């Protein structure tokens, strides 16, 4: 396996040029640069709001200095609140080429798009000089999420991802799972898996926070499709989702944008701190994917029962389908048929091994289905977090 060596020592499995807009007003210009570029690995990300927000700056910094990223073009309208200077400084400090275009100073839409196309070519030339070096499994970061879950998710796909995670952690890779609102009911058993009792307490607190937050919002993290697919309650969905974490010890509790440095399993607390302020913790699966990528994930394992088709900018998404009927219907979108488990045609261990092998192949450059189909979904909105406490990342192993 080989990776693109970045200045901070991390290695990437892709070499993407990002075009990022910092307010909705700059979206069209940024999108046009990406659309008009002949470079397949130029991707669009962005932030819609005009008010500044520490969280979105931190996430954007994490994304623009992600190991899979080789260069960044920042597109600003000019008067928005996003701290473009800070973002550019962070990217520059990460050793990547970065250019900023301010529409109000660049002669408007057409001229900024033209300037953007030249920027992207320059960034690509520099990114292409990045050295490809040997990369080991313990340098890989893999996140997992479930979306469009149904009554089959917890039987086939989620436990199989759990087995894959166990194998990756044996290789000393970093693995992360998330969505504490979908782990309601699992807090005690998770706490028992923490490497220190103090971390266990933090995990329980994070799930209690999620329960309180979702209760105040008036909805659990439970979609109509979950019910149609046979899931009746939040805790039933949780127990299925929890299986994605496998059986390893939990090494830490991180928040979006925190980047683990030691191999092991990490839980990401995605529910904002304090009183509900900006709405639902995660408005859609893609927002959670973006957070795990900002925390360094090279690859996302996405399990589904009803059948999600999403991918992501920056990091490949591998789709694992639990429901055999869905797999038949949406096979072009699915990388792994975990429906074989419920059909009795394969064991959870066998499907787990299949996922593990595909992770290696995708890390070596093979395109996942969502990549092939051009999926590059991206969502980033407002949130508010406090930093993690000292018990959340114990250093003992």
Partner 1 sequence: MINKHFVLLHQADNVFVCCKQLAAGSLTTLETVEVAMTTDITVGHKIARTEISKGDKIIKYGVSIGSATQDIVFGEHIHMHNMKSDYIASHTRQSRTGEES
Can you name the residues that pair with 4 across neighbouring β-strands? 12, 132
Handedness of CA 54, 59, 60, 64 (dihedral sign): positive
Q: Which helix (H) or strand (E) holds 143?
A: strand 141-146
List the structure tokens of 160.
């199989």
Contacts of 129 (CB under 8 A, 6+ apart): none
Spatial separation of the C-alpha atoms in residues 14 and 3, rounded to whole Å: 8
Can you name the residues that pair with 69 across neighbouring β-strands? 16
Whose Cβ is closer to partner 1: residue 176's or residue 231's? Answer: 231
CB of 213 to partner 1, least distance (A): 10
CB of 187 to partner 1, least distance (A): 11
CB of 93 to partner 1, least distance (A): 43
CB of 323 to partner 1, least distance (A): 6
CB of 25 to partner 1, least distance (A): 34
- Identify whether the C-beta of residue 156 lies closer than 8 Å to the C-beta of residue 341: yes
List the structure tokens of 364.
């070596």
Ramachandran angles phi, psi of 373, nearest 5°: -80, -5
CB of 211 to partner 1, least distance (A): 6
List the structure tokens of 257.
């944008």
The contact set with partner 1 (CB under 8 A) reads 150-152, 154-155, 184-185, 211, 214-215, 218-220, 222, 224, 226-236, 239-240, 305, 323-325, 342-344
Whose Cβ is closer to partner 1: residue 170's or residue 208's? Answer: 208
Whose Cβ is closer to partner 1: residue 90's or residue 226's? Answer: 226
Whose Cβ is closer to partner 1: residue 88's or residue 217's? Answer: 217
| Residue 173, CA atoms < 13 Å, CB-side half-sphere | 26
Whose Cβ is closer to partner 1: residue 119's or residue 234's? Answer: 234
CB of 183 to partner 1, least distance (A): 11
Burial 18-48 (b: 16+ CB within 10 A, else e): bbbbbbebbbebbbbbbeebeeeebbbbbbb
298, 295, 235, 239: which is closest to 266 by C-alpha? 295
Whose Cβ is closer to partner 1: residue 24's or residue 235's? Answer: 235
Whose Cβ is closer to partner 1: residue 105's or residue 188's? Answer: 188
């Amino acid at each position: 396996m080989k990776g693109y060596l970045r200045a901070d020592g991390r290695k990437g499995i892709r070499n993407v040029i990002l075009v990022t807009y910092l307010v909705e007003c700059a979206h069209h210009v940024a999108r046009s640069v990406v659309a008009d570029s002949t470079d397949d690995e130029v991707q669009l990300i962005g932030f819609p709001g005009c008010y500044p927000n520490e969280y979105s700056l931190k996430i954007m910094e994490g994304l623009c200095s992600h190991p899979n990223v080789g260069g960044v073009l920042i597109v600003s309208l000019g008067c928005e609140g996003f701290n473009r200077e800070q973002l550019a400084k962070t990217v520059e400090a990460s050793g990547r080429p970065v250019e900023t275009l301010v529409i109000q100073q660049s002669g408007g839409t057409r001229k900024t798009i033209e300037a953007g196309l030249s920027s992207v070519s320059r960034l690509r030339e520099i990114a292409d000089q990045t050295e490809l070096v040997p990369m080991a499994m313990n340098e890989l970061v893999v996140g997992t999420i479930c979306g469009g879950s149904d009554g089959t998710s917890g039987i086939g796909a989620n436990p199989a991802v759990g087995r894959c995670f166990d194998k990756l952690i044996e290789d000393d890779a970093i693995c992360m799972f998330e969505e504490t609102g979908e782990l309601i009911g699992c807090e005690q058993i998770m706490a028992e898996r923490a490497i220190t009792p103090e971390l266990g307490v933090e995990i329980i607190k994070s799930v209690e926070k999620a329960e309180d937050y979702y209760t105040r919002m008036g909805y659990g993290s439970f979609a109509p499709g979950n019910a149609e697919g046979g899931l009746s309650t939040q805790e039933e969905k949780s127990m299925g989702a929890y299986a994605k974490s496998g059986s390893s010890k939990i090494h830490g509790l991180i928040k979006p944008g925190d980047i683990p440095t030691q191999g092991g399993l990490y839980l990401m607390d995605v529910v904002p701190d304090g009183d509900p302020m900006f709405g639902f913790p995660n408005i859609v699966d893609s927002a959670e994917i973006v957070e795990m990528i900002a925390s360094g994930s090279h690859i996302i394992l996405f399990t589904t029962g009803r059948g999600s088709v999403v991918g992501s900018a920056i990091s490949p998404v591998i789709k694992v389908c639990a429901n055999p009927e869905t797999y038949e219907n949406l096979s072009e979108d699915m990388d792994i048929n975990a429906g074989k488990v419920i059909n009795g045609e394969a064991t959870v261990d066998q499907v787990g091994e299949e996922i593990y092998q595909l992770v290696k192949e995708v890390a070596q450059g093979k395109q996942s289905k969502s990549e092939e189909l051009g999926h590059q979904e991206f969502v980033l909105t407002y949130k508010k977090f406090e930093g993690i406490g000292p018990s959340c990342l114990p250093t003992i192993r």
